């Protein structure tokens, strides 16, 4: 609990340091060349663990590739090198936060949710410090996707909403057709699932959400955050003299990113009463930033 609390404190400190100076990057309509950021998902991309190394589904668990309907991020940072600490790079986006529920949290009502492949951000390049950047950090906050489940011996498709940010204040949210009222804070790993008949909600264990960070040993990320780290194939250089837009696609791995306890070993997520196949992870499984 102490580790998780410290994680929240660090994320809050990052917000305090940068919210005043960086949030205004979205206030005005971009003029001139822009940094355009898209968010995409890829089920064939390598499946990584917390340390940024390839990993298989946990023993006793099963996983599947969700079909993403919508996704949101809370924070975007360009990092100059492998030793650049979280918050010490170029923070180009920090979404609104709120204290409605007590502590400072992500405000879901103000989160921008986009379909995979769509533009998430447009930022004037003039507001980004000229430098060479080797890495990018993207803090994911929300996902909505379709997953298959087994009930009564039959296979169906339902819609899963998962909140993977460090902490989120939620008034309400819509799964596919049904709305869920919360009016409070939810810790990382809260989820809601809409079946044909009803809605069920749950909470993944604290610290269970995977957050791949290939810079695990040189630039760690606090436990409880969802700041996924990825390396550019070729360093991104911003000169300040660009004449054209720079477009970056944040390609996120959904390779078996939805994981549950497969109690009967059949490879399906069984939701029958008494099946007790708990959701354990829905963290994205890697980030590859691609400059188009």
Instruction: Give the model confidence (pLDDT) of 82-106 as tens digits.
Output: 999 999 999 999 999 999 988 899 9
* Whole-number average pLDDT of the chain: 90
Mean pLDDT of 39-60: 97
Distance CA(12)–CA(6), nearest Å, equals 10
Residue 223: is its pLDDT beyond 90?
no
pLDDT band with cut points at 50, 70 and 90 for residue 225: confident
Count CB neighbours of 27 within 10 A.
Answer: 6
Contact 74, 141 (CB under 8 A): yes
By mean pLDDT, which of 9-18, 46-55, 116-125, 184-193 is the weakest? 9-18
Summarize pLDDT for 251-281 with one digit per residue, the tens: 999 999 999 999 999 999 999 999 999 999 9
Residue 222: is its pLDDT beyond 70?
yes
Summarize pLDDT for 142-173 with one digit per residue, the tens: 999 999 999 999 999 999 999 999 999 999 99
Residue 239: is its pLDDT beyond 70?
yes
Nearest of 141, 140, 142 to residue 213 by alpha carbon: 140
β-pair type (154-163, 190-194): antiparallel
Count CB neighbours of 226 within 10 A.
Answer: 26
pLDDT band with cut points at 50, 70 and 90 for residue 201: very high
> Between the CA of residue 34 and those of 129, 164, 288, what are the distances in Å?
13, 28, 20
pTM for the model: 0.86
Distance CA(289)–CA(246), nearest Å, equals 12
Residue 42: is its pLDDT beyond 50?
yes
By mean pLDDT, which of 2-6, 109-113, 279-283 is the weakest? 2-6
Residue 65: is its pLDDT beyond 50?
yes
**If DSSP codes are grouped into helix, strand and coil, which group holds residue 232?**
strand
Structure tokens, 27: 């206030």
Distance CA(178)–CA(121), nearest Å, equals 28
Which residues lie across from 191 on neighbouring strands? 162, 202
Mean pLDDT of 216-221: 94
Summarize pLDDT for 8-38 with one digit per residue, the tens: 344 444 443 334 344 444 455 547 899 999 9
Q: What values do phi and psi take at 62, rounded to 5?
A: -135, 160
Domain ranges of the chain: 2-19+34-291
Structure tokens, 273: 């009463």
Residues 6+ apart with CB under 8 A from 82: 134, 135, 215, 218, 219
Q: What pLDDT is recorded for position 10? A: 43
């Amino acid at each position: 609990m102490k580790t998780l609390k410290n994680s929240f404190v660090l994320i809050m400190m990052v917000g305090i340091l940068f919210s005043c100076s960086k949030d205004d990057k979205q206030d005005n309509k971009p003029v001139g060349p822009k940094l355009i950021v898209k968010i995409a998902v890829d089920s064939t991309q390598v499946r990584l663990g917390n340390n940024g190394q390839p990993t298989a589904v946990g023993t006793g668990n099963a996983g599947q590739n969700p079909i993403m309907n919508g996704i949101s991020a809370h924070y975007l940072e360009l990092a100059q090198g492998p030793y650049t600490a979280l918050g010490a790079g170029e923070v180009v986006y920090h979404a609104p936060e709120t204290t409605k529920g007590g502590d400072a949290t992500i405000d879901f009502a103000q989160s921008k949710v986009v379909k995979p492949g769509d533009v998430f951000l447009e930022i004037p390049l003039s507001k980004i410090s000229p430098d060479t950047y080797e890495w990018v950090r993207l803090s994911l906050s929300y996902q909505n996707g379709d997953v298959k489940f087994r009930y009564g011996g039959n296979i169906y498709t339902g819609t899963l909403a998962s909140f993977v940010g460090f902490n989120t204040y939620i008034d309400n949210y819509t799964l596919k057709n049904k709305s869920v009222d919360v009016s409070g804070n939810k810790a990382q790993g809260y989820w809601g699932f809409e079946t044909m008949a009803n809605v069920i909600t749950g909470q993944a264990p604290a610290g269970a959400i995977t957050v791949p960070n290939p810079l695990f040993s040189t630039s760690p990320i606090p436990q409880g955050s969802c700041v996924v780290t990825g390396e550019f194939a070729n360093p991104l250089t911003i000169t300040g003299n660009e004449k054209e837009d720079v477009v970056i696609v944040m390609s996120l791995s959904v390779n078996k990113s939805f994981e549950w306890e497969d109690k009967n070993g059949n490879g399906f997520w069984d939701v029958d009463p008494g099946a007790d196949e708990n959701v354990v992870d829905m963290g994205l499984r890697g980030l590859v930033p691609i400059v188009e």
